[in-house]
Each structure stands twice: as structure tokens, then as C-alpha cells.
Amino acid sequence: MSSYRQILYHIVFRTKNSEKSLPLDKSEELYKYIWGIIKNKNGFLYRINGMEEHIHSLSDLHPSIALAIYIRDIKTASSVWLKQIGNFPDFKGWAEGYAGLTYSWKDKDIIINYIKNQKEHHKNLSFEDELRALLKEHGIEWDEKYIF
């Protein structure tokens, strides 16, 4: 018998100290670079977007890769690239940690639209409040010192 799986992760991580160091007019380059990393890990990127201080992505995670390693590799490679390319002069690095939230296949389009509409969400909602809401929705307890 073959193995079947569908592992959709909504991943959120932020810049060091939540600094607004990812200019929106340059972010498409970053998203394409991260897409390449995910593809090289045998993952599939459904959507990526973000704001000046954080990124959201929805991707299928290959079962041979642990979530922590997947995110570590994305953050490490993209950090090196961001510092080398010169288009992100204020970028100092990624903050420690991440949110990795699982969703069912039937919720895929809802999460894709949520990620797609980041600019709209953040007209009235800070990243910190958005993260709290996502964690609460998933029943995850958090420590406030890691929110900021």
C-alpha cells in the first residue's frame, strides 16, 4: 500500500525586533527566493505574502522534513540572501521562533485569501494582535515576551 498525506502549514515569522526592514516594493524578490527554497525541499508553496516586518506562507511540507528544520533552512538561506543582495539594507535578520499552524485541505482557499490580503488586514491590525488572534484560534498558549 502507498502512503498518502497532505500537510498544509500556515507559517508566520518576523524580522528581528519586528523592524520594518522588508520594503513592500522589493518583497516580490524575497518571495520568489523563498519559493525556490521550498521547491528545493520538495514542498509546494500555495501563497506567500507579508508586510515590512513579517511573512506569511502556506505550503505543503514534504513528510521527510521536520517543520523546525524546514523553517530554519528557509530563514537561514533567505537571511544570507537578503544581506547579500543589497535591496534590503535595513534587514538585520529574522527573529527567533515562528508560528506553524496546520489547516485542512478544505480551508486552503480561505488561508490563501487571508495571506493574499495582508495589506488590507494590517490597515487596522498590528502584527502582534494578528499573531495573538492566530494563536488563540489554534488554542496555543503564548508568552507575551515572545510576541514583541
63-119: per-residue pLDDT in tens?
Answer: 889 999 999 999 999 999 999 998 999 999 999 999 999 999 999 999 999 999 998
**Is 2 part of a structural domain of the chain?**
no
C-alpha cell at 58: 502556506
77 inside domain: yes
Residues 82 and 89: their CA atoms lie apart, in Å, by 8
Contact 17, 49 (CB under 8 A): no
Q: Is residue 98 in a domain?
A: yes
Q: How confident is the model at residue 148 (pLDDT cuts 50, 70, 90)?
A: low
pLDDT attached to residue 88: 95
Q: In what order do the strands lie in the sheet with 99-103?
A: 44-51, 54-60, 8-14, 99-103
Q: What is the CATH number of the domain that holds 50?
A: 3.30.70.1290
User: 41: domain range?
Assistant: 8-146
Domain membership of residue 1 (yes or no) is: no
List pLDDT tens digits, range 12-66: 999 999 999 999 999 999 999 999 999 999 999 999 999 999 999 999 988 889 9
User: Is 79 within a domain?
Assistant: yes
> Is 33 a domain residue?
yes
Q: What angle do CA 62, 58, 71 make, to 5 degrees?
A: 60
3 assigned to some structural domain: no
For residue 45, give the nearest of 58, 64, 63 by alpha carbon: 58
In a domain, 81, yes or no: yes
Report DSSP letters for 55-118, one per residue. EEEEEEPPTTS-HHHHHHHHHHHHHHHHHHHSS-TT---BPS--EEEEE-GGGHHHHHHHHHTH
- Could you tell me what percent of the chain has a pLDDT over 90? 77
Amino acid letter for position 16? K
